Structure 1
Amino acid sequence: MSITGQNSSSKKTESDKQQNISCLVVLRERSGRLGNRMFMFASAMGLALTHSCRLYIDQPIINELLSWFQLNLPKNITINKEHYTNLSRFIQQKKNLCTYFPELMKPYAIKYLELRGFWQAHGHFVKFKNEIRKQFTFKPTIAKRIASFFKTYICQQINCTSNYLAKNVTQVQLKLDLRDSPYTWIGIHIRRGDYLRGRRVSSIKFIIDAMDYFIDKYGNKSLFVITSDDKSYCARTFLNRTNVLITPSSFSPADDLATLAVCEHTIVTVGTFGWWGAFLSGGEAICDVKSSQNPTAIDNNCARQAFFPEWFSYLNKTS
Structure 2
Amino acid sequence: MITFSRLGKKGNLGNQLFQIASTIGLSHKHKQPYVFPNWEYEKFFEISLPHGKIPEAQLIKEKYFHLYEWDLDNGDYDILGYLQTEKYFDIPFTRKNLSFKPGFIEKIKAKKPLSGDPNNILISVRRGDFVHHPWFYQLSYKYYLGALIHNFPDWKNRHLIFISDDISYCKTQFSNLKNSYFIDDLSPIEQLAFGSTCKDFIISNSTFSWWVAWLGEKKDSKVIAPIKNFRGKHAKVTNEKDYFPERWIRFNHHNYSIPLEHIQTILVGEMYRLKDHIQYLSKKIREKFIKKKWKKL
Class of the TM-score when normalised by the shorter of the 2 chains? 0.7 to 0.9
CA 1:98–1:267 in 2, change beyond 3 Å: closer, same or farther?
farther
What is residue 117 of structure 1 aligned with on the other side? 81
What is residue 98 of structure 2 aligned with on the other side? 136
What is residue 48 of structure 1 aligned with on the other side? 27
Equivalent residues in 2 for 1:177-216, closer than 5 Å = 178-179=117-118, 183=119, 185-199=120-134, 200-216=137-153
CA 1:219–1:250 in 2, change beyond 3 Å: closer, same or farther?
closer
Instruction: Tell me which protein shows more helix as a share of its residues.
Output: 1
Conserved in 2, the CA contact under 8 Å of 1:146 and 1:259? yes
Q: Aligned pair 1:224/2:160, yes or no?
A: yes
Conserved in 1, the CA contact under 8 Å of 2:127 and 2:165? yes
Structure 1 residue runs without a partner (length 5+): 1-23, 154-173
Structure 2 residue runs without a partner (length 5+): 256-297
CA 1:291–1:115 in 2, change beyond 3 Å: closer, same or farther?
closer
What CA RMSD, in Å, does the superposition of the two structures yield over aligned residues? Answer: 2.7
What is residue 304 of structure 1 aligned with on the other side? 240
Name the amino acid aligned to 1:31: K
What is residue 226 of structure 2 aligned with on the other side? 288
Find the residue that maps to 2:176 and give its secondary structure.
coil
Q: Aligned pair 1:96/2:62, yes or no?
A: yes
What is residue 279 of structure 2 aligned with on the other side? none
CA distance in 2, matches of 1:97, 1:254: 30
What is residue 205 of structure 2 aligned with on the other side? 270
Name the amino acid aligned to 2:241: Q
- TM-score normalized by structure 1? 0.69
- TM-score normalized by structure 2? 0.74
What is residue 172 of structure 2 aligned with on the other side? 236
Conserved in 1, the CA contact under 8 Å of 2:32 and 2:73? no
Q: Cα distance, 1:95 vs. partner?
A: 1.8
Provide Cα deviations, 1:240-265, integer angstroms capped at 9, x if missing partner.
Answer: 11222111x22100111112211102
CA 1:214–1:245 in 2, change beyond 3 Å: closer, same or farther?
farther
Q: Cα distance, 1:288 vs. partner?
A: 1.0
What is residue 18 of structure 1 aligned with on the other side? none
Provide Cα deviations, 1:42-84, integer angstroms capped at 9, x if missing partner.
Answer: 11111111222100112x23xx1224323235xxxx4744xx3
Q: State the aligned residue count.
A: 248
